[in-house]
Every structure is written in C-alpha cells, then in structure tokens.
Amino acid sequence: MTKKSVDNHVLTAPLPTQAISQIKPESSSQTFLGKIRHEMQFVRGRGAFEISIVVALILTGYIITSLVNPTGFAFLNPNNLSGVISQAIPVLAILGLAAGILMIAGEFDLSLGFALTFNAIIFIRVVEAFGWLPGIVAGIASGIFVALVNGIIVVTSKIPSFIATLGMSFFWGGASIFINGTSPAMLTPGPNREALEFLFTQNFGFFRAQLLWLIGVGIIAWFFLHRHRLGNHIFAVGGNASAAEAISINPSRVKLMAFGIFGSLVGLASILIAVRTSSIQPGGTATEAFTLFAIAAAVVGGTALMGGRGSVIGIIVGASLIELIRNGLLLARAPGFYITLFVGVTIVIAAVFNKLMEGKAS
C-alpha cells in the first residue's frame, strides 16, 4: 500500500473508534443557512453548543443582577470585566487547551501546576540574565522539555500517565526550589519588564493583551486539531490506539507530539502568569490549583476523559464558564471553599453528561 493510500484511509477507514467520527463530513447543502445548520449539527453532542447556552444564561443573569444592584454585584464594573474576560479566562483557556489536547490523545499530565512554577522561574531567571526575548524562548522551551520528559516516561514505561505525571509533579516542584531556592523569583523593574508587560499584559482600554494571545492560540489550535491531518491522528490515537496503529499511525509518536503541544501551551501560560504577577514562589503551591481547573475546563467543554473526543471551542467556553462562576462567587462574597466545591461537582456532572452524549453527534 502506498503512503498516499494510507493517508487517505486515516479519514475514511471504517474503524470502531470515536476518533474517525470526530472528522466533520462536508456539508451537502450549498446555501448559507444549510451550512449553518450543518455546523450546528456537528457541534451538538460535542459539548460546545450545550455549554455555550449555559454560559449565555449565566451572563444574562449576571448582567441583570449587576444592573439592578451595581454596588452589591459589580459584574459590569470595567475593572472586573477587564480582570475576568481579559486576564483570568485567557490563562485558564490556554491551560485548558493544553490539558484538553493531551486528553483527546488519551493521556493526562498532573504535573501542570508544578510545571507552571518551574517554567516561570526559568523564564524569569533567563530574562534577568540575558533579556526578555531569550527569556520568552527559554520559558516555552522549558515547558516543552518538562512535558516531553513526562511523555517519554509514559510512552516508554507504559505506566498510566496519571501515576507517572503525579510523581513527576513533585519532582518539578522540587526542581524549582533547587534552581531558585526558597525565595521568590522576581522580574525587576526596567526595560525588560516594560517590554514584557507590553507584549503580555498591556491594557488596551476595553481588553488586555492576554485576550489577543488566547485568540491567536485558539485559531491555531482549531485549525491544527480540526483541520489538519496531525490533529486527526490525535483523535484517532485517543479514540482507539490499536485501530490507529492498524492504519499506519504511530501512537507513541502522536502521544509525544501531544505532550509537546501541551508543554508549549503551559510554557506560554507560565509567561503570562509570571509577567502579570512579576514574581513566582518556588515549589508550585501557588499554581497547584491550575491542574484541577485546566482539566475541569476541558471536561466541562466536552472533552472525553477516556480520549478521542473534544473541541477547541468547547474547551474555551468551558474555561469561560468556570471563571465566570468563580467571579460570581467572589462578587457575591461567598466563602473561598465554595469555588473548590463548585469545580469538583462540575467535573463530575460534566463527565456524566459527556458520557450520556457519546454517540449523539452526527
């Protein structure tokens, strides 16, 4: 069989896997309304459509409540909107895409929170020593390195990624202390910090630079995952690795690629967090919760826990839902543990819902 025929079979082979069903068929309708209907049919059952309705309802409730009681529930306050929409949502959405793409490939990386700290410290140390541009390269390269080390352990040892990355999370937390000591790593004021703030946290009035980064990452991720052959391979391996291997897809190589993508996105998020806060405490305790929230964003957005199903739009909407509800709880002055309680319950409900929705998409 020629290479060309093998590539064609990646999309057409009648295999018992969710992965192949993720490839959207072409619309037979030539009208605009017909194409819109076709898009909605494809989105339904994959989480994005249903969760978008929930987000719209919550937004409507927040807006009405804020208009009625602007002092008691200041959701429409420009500072609040800038903080939630332009800063909190983009970071969580990028981390959700990292976790979600890896989950679609059938793997987890529970070292995400500790890796955030490790990458941010590498970024800050390189910026202070060599400048802002080498620092950006080092921060993203550090994320890829951490993820590939985790991925190689998982692929070569065949132990569950859940266990392997849980153990490695403590390693990367200890490594950040080994590199920087127990004192925080800080971006000192000066030209390097000013350049970084313009690139990653600049206030453009109605939005901040983080939102632009999310839009760029989201567009690239959508085209890669839903329109590129390698994205189809990720779905195929996550849905049924044996079936994917039968049509000449190398599961180990695809999973390592997914770990690499995961690492690059976590590295970018590390930079966004470090520039925004200007300091990072070694050890990972400050960013540990991001692991739970990133996985929650992916699951709430329709990503299957067992792999093979998910969407970029769904993950971004899932991250938006989590941050909106977290913001609503803070504005309502709810106790802090309510947020953790909500995330835990949301993951369970979303997982049950996703299980019920399996096979519903056309």
Return the domain boundaries, the chain: 86-357
State phi, psi for 88 to the nearest 5 degrees: -70, -50
**Which residue from 163, 113, 129, 45 is spatially nearest to 269, judged by alpha carbons?**
113
Q: Check whether 165 has a pLDDT greater than 50.
A: yes
Which residue reads 């930079």 in tokens? Answer: 271
- 263-286 mean pLDDT: 92
Confirm if 79 and 278 have CB atoms less than 8 A apart. no
Asked whether the predicted pLDDT for residue 71 surpasses 60, the reply is yes
Give the Cβ contact number of residue 273 at 10 Å. Answer: 23
pLDDT surpassing 80 at residue 224? yes
Q: What is this structure's pTM? A: 0.85
Q: φ, ψ for residue 108 (rounded to 5)? A: -125, 160
Does 86-357 carry CATH code 3.30.70? no
156-171 CB burial, b ≥16 within 10 A, e <16: eeeeebeebbeebbeb
Neighbours of 72 (CB within 10 A): 11
**How does pLDDT run across 112-153, given as a tens digit for each residue?**
999 999 999 999 999 999 999 999 999 999 999 999 999 999
Burial of residue 352 (number of CB atoms within 10 Å: 0-12, 13-18, 19+): exposed
In terms of pLDDT, which residue wins out, 208 or 17? 208
Share of the chain above pLDDT 90, in %: 55
The rounded mean pLDDT for the chain is 84
